[in-house]
Amino acid sequence: MGFPALTSLMAQYIIFTYSHLTLLVSFHFLLISYLLKKMNVIKYSKPLLTYSRTSYSILHKSSTNLITARSKTTTTTTKSKPKTMASPNRLKNLSVNFPIKKSESTVSLHPLSRDPFKVTIIGSGNWGTTIAKVVAENTAIHTHVFHKEVQMWVFEEKIDGVNLTEIINTKHENVKYLPGIDLPENLVANPSLTDAVKDADILVFNVPHQFLARIVGQLQGHVKEGARGISCLKGFEVGVKGVQLLSSYITDELGVACGALSGANLAPEVAKEHFSETTVAYQLPKDFKGEGKDVDHKILKALFHRPYFHVNVIDDVAGISIAGALKNVVALGCGFVEGLGWGSNAGAAIQRVGLGEIIKFGQMFFPESRVETYYQESAGVADLITTCSGGRNVKVAKFMAKTGKSALEAEKELLNGQSAQGIITCKEVHEWLDKCELTQEFPLLEAVYQIVYNNAPMENIPDMIEALEDFGF
């Protein structure tokens, strides 16, 4: 082949390659975009664009953060790939961000420059009585900080013709709601709500949340000025103000700054003093009077921490409250699949999907809540695990699956007057999501509601989750 022929062939090759290069690049660009999209599973970015409420913009913002964070992680991983094997010297210089926070050490209390705090427990059920025991044990030790005597308001009822309050005050046992557990003698049962809270500086609310509104109504005008509160309830208040944390509801109705206590705390185990952890969350109010004069994190730790009940005090009230309320609904879902005999994989799947929906609910409606609370604190994933393993909600749901009975029948037959809060919470959450036209964004929470209230077959849970997911995303 001569030089001119070779030149012409090369020219043809260059023109051919160039004209196809654009096609090739476009093809690869499309392919890579598609793969990236698949890998990211950007559920939040698409269909919600049709939704124009405030909650949408919050969600969209957090999804953007999520994507940014993800790409940052990828870059860092590639750059910091170790060139040599780890050696003790190299490891010494590494600062690793341990994702699970260590609990603070024990309390160091300043001497009070005021009278000791008087504490009242409002409620005397399974958890109410257990927390009253914990608190009374502590007030008996820290008498320089707390009044030794703790009042416990009891919704009075007769047990074999005798008042429950009388039994508690003489036998020092709550024979109906916490049988077999000795209660401290400085814990005093009181059937009068207004008398029990008289002069109280710290109110610990601990009743099934369906009774809270009436109790708060009765308390109006009877609470000491400057009193502070802690809500141990797990649930929401859904009303004219939308979905509200119970602690915020208490603050709004009573003018009492209120935090929350929530954790992996099956009451019978805590009552037997088997080791567990909990999270207390409290934000210092604007009218905080100062250390030694007012309730703060140290005072709360002194009030609730026991050798068998480890307390971490933080300020994310919303995060711990959302986790505590919604894990009861997820536990019903877990109970259904367990009752159907589907085994551990199914339970784990429900918990995984449930945790995602809990975090999403928090990010959407309470953007002040922190994602790390859900995995760092006892009130987060630990509570989900313990409730799904042995709580009352899971028991009720299992019973429904095995007997075909309704949730309320199961609760009545199994719980001897105690309450499985997931039954009411799933209804309240459904009503709220329905109002926001967002039920499809929470397929598991919605499936549980449909099973409990509309007799949807529980065998369809996998389809219900999948169908809603497909529709929603």
Active-site residues, by number, are 327
- The residue among 121 and 438 lying less far from ligand 13P, judged by its C-beta, is 121
Question: Measured in Å, how far apart are the chain's first and last C-alpha atoms?
Answer: 61
- The residue among 156 and 469 lying less far from ligand NAI, judged by its C-beta, is 156
Task: List the alpha helices (DSSP H) in 291-437.
Answer: 297-304, 317-339, 344-365, 371-376, 383-390, 392-403, 407-415, 422-435
**417 touches, from ligand 13P, ligand NAI, none (C-beta below 5 to 8 Å by class):** ligand NAI
Minimal distance, residue 423 CB to ligand 13P, in Å: 10
Minimal distance, residue 322 CB to ligand NAI, in Å: 14
Minimal distance, residue 64 CB to ligand NAI, in Å: 35
Question: Where does this chain touch ligand 13P (CB under 6 A) — which range of 24-32, 177-185, 387-395, 399-407?
Answer: 387-395
Binding residue for ligand 13P (CB under 6 A) from 383, 411, 441, 446?
Answer: 383
- Ranked by CB distance to ligand NAI, the top (closest) residue is 125
Q: Note whether 327 and 354 are within 8 A (CB).
A: yes
The verdict on 332 binding ligand 13P (CB under 6 A) reads no
The verdict on 266 binding ligand 13P (CB under 6 A) reads yes
The verdict on 387 binding ligand 13P (CB under 6 A) reads yes
Minimal distance, residue 65 CB to ligand 13P, in Å: 30
Minimal distance, residue 277 CB to ligand NAI, in Å: 13
Binding residue for ligand 13P (CB under 6 A) from 386, 425, 439, 450?
Answer: 386
Minimal distance, residue 461 CB to ligand NAI, in Å: 23
- DSSP annotation of 315 reads S
- The residue among 254 and 410 lying less far from ligand 13P, judged by its C-beta, is 410
**387 touches, from ligand 13P, ligand NAI, none (C-beta below 5 to 8 Å by class):** ligand 13P
**183 touches, from ligand NAI, ligand 13P, none (C-beta below 5 to 8 Å by class):** none
Binding residue for ligand 13P (CB under 6 A) from 243, 314, 323, 331?
Answer: 331
Minimal distance, residue 116 CB to ligand 13P, in Å: 30
Question: Where does this chain touch ligand 13P (CB under 6 A) — which range of 19-27, 204-212, 219-227, 386-394?
Answer: 386-394
The verdict on 237 binding ligand 13P (CB under 6 A) reads no
The verdict on 235 binding ligand 13P (CB under 6 A) reads no
Two structure tokens written together for 194: 């207004």
The verdict on 265 binding ligand 13P (CB under 6 A) reads yes
- Least Cα distance to 319 among 275, 269, 282 occurs for 282
- Least Cα distance to 203 among 295, 317, 108, 314 occurs for 295
Q: Note whether 270 and 137 are within 8 A (CB).
A: no
Secondary structure element (H or E) that encloses residue 18, with its range: helix 3-40
- Residue 306, strand partner residues: 309
**383 touches, from ligand 13P, ligand NAI, none (C-beta below 5 to 8 Å by class):** ligand 13P
Longest dimension (CA), the chain: 118
> Which three-class secondary structure string do you get for 121-158?
EECCCHHHHHHHHHHHHHHHHCCCCECCCEEEECCCCE
Two structure tokens written together for 449: 């509601």
Residues 6 or more apart from 173 whose CB is under 8 A from it? 167, 179, 180, 181, 182, 183
Torsion (CA) 82, 83, 86, 87 in degrees, nearest 10: -140
The verdict on 411 binding ligand 13P (CB under 6 A) reads no
| Phi–psi pair at 228, nearest 5 degrees | -120, 155
- Least Cα distance to 152 among 169, 170, 138 occurs for 169
**152 touches, from ligand 13P, ligand NAI, none (C-beta below 5 to 8 Å by class):** none
- Residue 162, strand partner residues: 159
CA distance 414 to 73: 49
3-state class of 208 per DSSP?
coil
Q: Could you say which residues in the range 80-99 bind ligand 13P, by CB under 6 A?
A: none
Two structure tokens written together for 418: 């105690």
Contact footprint for ligand NAI (CB under 6 A): 123-128, 155, 177, 206-209, 211, 232-235, 265-267, 417-419, 421
- The residue among 150 and 331 lying less far from ligand 13P, judged by its C-beta, is 331
What single letter denotes the amino acid at residue 450?
A: Q
Q: Note whether 155 and 124 are within 8 A (CB).
A: yes
Question: Where does this chain touch ligand 13P (CB under 6 A) — which range of 157-165, 212-220, 346-354, 382-390?
Answer: 382-390
Question: Where does this chain touch ligand 13P (CB under 6 A) — which range of 39-47, 186-194, 263-271, 305-313?
Answer: 263-271
Burial label for 283, CB within 10 Å (0-12, 13-18, 19+), is middle
Residues binding ligand 13P (CB under 6 A): 234, 264-266, 328, 331, 383, 386-387, 391-393, 420-421
